Structure 1
Amino acid sequence: MAHPGTASAPGRTPAWRYAIGMLGTSIPINMIKGSMILFYVDILGLDVRAYGAVMVVYAVIDAIDNPLLGHLSDRTRSRFGRRRPWLLVGAPMLVACMIAFFSAPTSLQGMGLLLWFAVFAILCEAFDSMLNANYGALLPELYPRERDRAVANGLRQGFQLVALVISLAATPLLTTSVFGTEDSTQGFQITAIIYGAVALVVIVFMALGARENPRYSTRERPPLLRSVWSIVRDRMFWTVGLTGACYGMAMAFVLSGIQLYVRYSLGLPVGNALYLQGIVILVSAGGLVVWTGVVARRGALWTWRLAFAVLAVSFAALFFATDLGTAIAAGVLVGAGWSGMLATNDLIVARVLDADAARNGEHREGLFLSAFGFFGRLNGIVTGLALTSLGVFFGYNSGDDPGTDPGLAFRVYLCVYPFVLTAIGAVAARFISVPLETPTDPPPPDPVAGSTDPSSPDPVAGAEESASSGPVDGSGVERPR
């Protein structure tokens, strides 16, 4: 029987019920990121310099609103929980903005086209941030132990890959052949409406089934400035965040450039991106099972480092592809490295969140994940500047002015830039240290065992991790081998 003033423990949320939410949150934003350059630059004729400028502004705005959204989520107190209200509000708003994003009138030109792109790109990213800050915050709360967390994360990444099959691999075919043509925009609008309906149903289904821990809502509401200052002083926030950003930025290049890589570098119709994207996603789906098994044996940190190295090598292989067959062969390696990062990157971040909760006695997953989202906002700046560089170095300014060698331009965009980023990340990961697995809400100390520190790590979990991942010291931090 619960003591007065305390909330009873919630029932367990089935891992699949939580994980399926990734299908809904991934479909809209991946269609947007995967098709925005093709739609606005190559078809509607938006100049890449204007595109790059918008992406810089959009990233700055998003870096500001992300911590605020996460903080508001942490402070929310309602009978529906902290995260679910934001998920139920954010889902229809994101869907509406995505449909508007791909409904730009073909008559728009110049400043009118630029403003339409800027407004709806920023709104889509803001509502996507609202969804993902809250959805991501549920992972460490619903599944405190890393073994359970790894299973739930593996399942949700599997659903993300299904979403990518829909939003990336199938989109070029649907927009250019089924509902539209290579040079029209009608197919994008119809596809966006269909994807939006699917995403809305899935997110609502997940949110209504998530059983948040009411104990987290009974604690003191953390003030914004003090919380932000505490996070920015955390060394692990910067080391893990910047290293993970190398992976995130590399995949942002892939999402935004693969259709134009197929068109210009391989000299094929955009619809052929279906086959290249499809093989990458299928390999990633199968690889999740393998990588999750490696995590169970060697730990998340060791596996994360290995996956980084594999991903870096894969981009080097993709650079030398000359046709669809060789590109697909390189794509197998890309899928292998990518699935390793999907299986491990969020586990590394969750360790940092666990350590923060244990150290400060406050569950600030929403704010902390939104602060980590700051590094994700670098994606927009970097991809915008990289696209602008194609105009400087190769003369590619838009679909109306592609320059003399757009094939080399997008080979550099899709392969060279991601290779440099992931190579840096692979080296940096070798020097990263993360906390041992620590339950976010340890049970009261056992007087027989003589434990007096309620925030001390679980000795069983600590022994398992130190044996599987790497040596540790007295600070409770896993050290690099």
Structure 2
Amino acid sequence: MSDKKIHLGNLRLAAFVSPEAPLAAFIMVVVVFIPPFYAGSMGLGLSVVGLIFGLTKLWDVVTDPLFGFLSDSWHTRWGRRRPWLVASVPLMIICTYQVFSPDPPVTGLYFAVWMIVLYVGWTLASVSHISWAAELSTDYHERSRISAYKQGAGLVGGVALMLMLAMADHIPGFTETHRIELIAKILIIALPLCVLAALWAAPEPYQNTHQPRLKALDKPARVILENGPLRRLLIANLLLGIATGSIGGMFLFLVEDVLLLGDWSSFALLPWFFSGLIFLPLFMKLSNKIGKHKTLCVALIYHIFASLSFLFLPAGDAVLACIALLFLGANQAVGTYIPAAIMADVTDYDAVKTGKQRTGLYMSLLQTSSKVAAALSVGLSYPILSAIGFDASPDAHNSEDVLNGIRWILFALPGGLYLVIIGIMWRFPLDEAKQVILREQLVQMNRAGSPDPV
């Protein structure tokens, strides 16, 4: 448990976090574009897609912690994280092609199988990269900087992808199928290039291989039950993912069916993601002053008030819609980076309590909660849309009452969940002062050469 500090310059840190751009763009696309595509153009329907999406996401409850355990346990001359990151690339390329370029007619079985395998590839990439990032520094604020850069890379990836789609949408004859195929090509090209950049940019910090061996008895359920801060963070992250996922899953319905933006629908995602880039430096400064967990709460309070605009935006006004979305997207700046930065501190708490270094397992649990949330968000919001009578097929004509119902769901569902998160996280026990104490205890344990808890 070395406390050696690694500080990457801005250029190297940007290169290191660059895989987050295609990885975040991928998960955004899977939530925003894939469900409507398979429900509408591929003809599977809202209820079927919601069910499959939910069940395939829940498979990650098994695979994510299993991989986190394996990556913590498997030491190689090349490190613990880098081999898995490299191995994920060919798997994701194959599965992305299968999911994003299907040959219709498509069955529910086809969709389910390839989504499961695709999630396995994404798990290998995302858990190994986020664990590597968490281990780069032991400093409270430097961890926030690294995590914020990762969030920024994800937002840049989202903005770049949406910009390409917005331009492509104005090409005559450009269909939804063409849009999905274009996304696949972009991701397939970008991912290996960004992984190479990360391998060049940063070392893997030295890890003490003489710590207590991780055993199969380190079961996720037991780990969660024994760690109070971990339980609070995972519950908050789960609710956060459900809230943001429900917005993402209904976003195209909002801009296409409710706001009637037509060819400007993909463009409307640009201010949504660009807002995150604008607010990210502000939230980073706020985090340095009041701490990570309170910054998250402030961001959620802001969103509750800003989301009132969902209820009043007029249809057909692309300019006003983009302005509103520019302010509404502020939470894109904190939704991923703050929970990941907090989880790095939670691993210190675990290491002091147990003498074990289980960053991979802990980060995999964070990823699992996010994926379960994504499953629940679509599995919850799509049946609600179906219940109010919404028809997602391209030629459907939905009533004004149904369209207004979508507005209220977009406001009330995330807003209620955000209030619960604020109650959970406002008095989170691991602040900067506590983390400094934990690091001092870990240094003393390391110097003593004893893995026993203190």
TM-score range normalised by the length of the shorter chain: 0.7 to 0.9
Structure-1 separation of matches of 2:295 and 2:21: 25
Aligned mate of 1:260, from 238, 253, 256 = 253
* Structure 1 Cα separation of the partners of residues 28 and 430 of structure 2: 30
> Which residue in the other structure is 1:66 paired with?
64
Query: In 1, are the aligned partners of 2:15 and 2:194 still within 8 Å (CA)?
Result: no
The CA deviation at 1:348 is 2.0
Q: CA deviation at 1:223?
A: 0.9
Q: Alpha-carbon deviation of 1:399?
A: 3.8
Q: Secondary structure at the match of 1:214?
A: coil
1 CA distance for matches of 2:374 and 2:452? Answer: 39
Give TM-score scaled by structure 1 length. 0.83
Query: How far does residue 63 in structure 1 lie from its aligned partner after superposition?
Result: 1.0
- Shift in Å, 1:407: 2.5
Q: 2: distance between equivalents of 1:169 and 1:384?
A: 29
SS in 1 for 2:183: helix
Secondary structure of the equivalent of 1:434? Answer: coil
Question: Partners of 1:52 and 1:164 in 2: how far apart?
Answer: 23
User: Equivalent residue of 1:222, what SS?
Assistant: coil
Match of 1:122 among 116, 127, 147: 116
Give 1:425's aligned residue: 421
Moved more, 287-296 or 418-427: 418-427
- Name which of 98, 114, 127 aligns with 1:133: 127
Q: TM-score, normalised by structure 2?
A: 0.87
Write out aligned runs for 1:72-221 (5 A): 72-106=70-104, 108=105, 112-168=106-162, 170-171=164-165, 173-174=167-168, 176-178=169-171, 181-182=174-175, 184-221=176-213
- Is 1:333 matched with 2:296? no
Distance 1:454 1:221, change over 3 A: closer
Q: Which has the higher contact order (CA 8 A, sep 6+)?
A: 2
333-342 vs 48-57, which moves further: 333-342
* Corresponding position of 2:362: 368
Secondary structure of residue in 2 paired with 1:249: helix
Q: State the 4+ residue runs in structure 1 displaced beyond 6 angstroms.
A: 6-11, 452-456
Residue 55 of structure 1 deviates from its aligned partner by 2.0
1:292 touches 1:343 (CA, 8 Å); kept in 2? no
Residues 208 and 86 from structure 1, CA distance in 2 versus in 1: closer, same or farther, beyond 3 angstroms?
farther
1:257 to partner: Cα distance: 2.2
- Cα distance 1:37–1:171, how it changes in 2: closer, same or farther (>3 A)? farther
**Could you say which residue in structure 1 is the equivalent of 2:272?**
280
Partner of 1:473: none
Tell me how many residue pairs correspond in the alignment: 441
Q: How many angstroms apart in 2 are the aligned matches of 1:97 and 1:251? A: 25
The alignment-based identity, stated in percent, is: 19
Q: Which residue in 2 is equivalent to 1:410?
A: 406
Change (3 A) 1:263 1:287: same
Q: Does 1:392 align with 2:387?
A: yes
- Counterpart in 2 of 1:35? 33
Distance of 2:137 and 2:49 partners within structure 1: 40
**Could you tell me whether the CA contact under 8 Å between 1:315 and 1:418 is conserved in 2?**
no
Distance 1:22 1:16, change over 3 A: same
For the structure 1 residues 49 and 336, does the alpha-carbon distance in structure 2 shift closer, same or farther, using more than 3 Å as the test?
Answer: closer
Q: How does 1:301-316 map to 2 (within 5 A)?
A: 301-316=293-308
Amino acid at match of 2:291: G
How far off its partner does 1:359 sit? 1.8
Q: What RMSD over aligned residues (CA atoms) do the two structures have, in Å?
A: 3.0
For residues 354 and 192 of structure 1, the distance between their equivalents in structure 2, rounded to whole angstroms, comes to: 38
Moved more, 47-56 or 231-240: 231-240
Give the structure 2 partner of residue 475 of structure 1. none
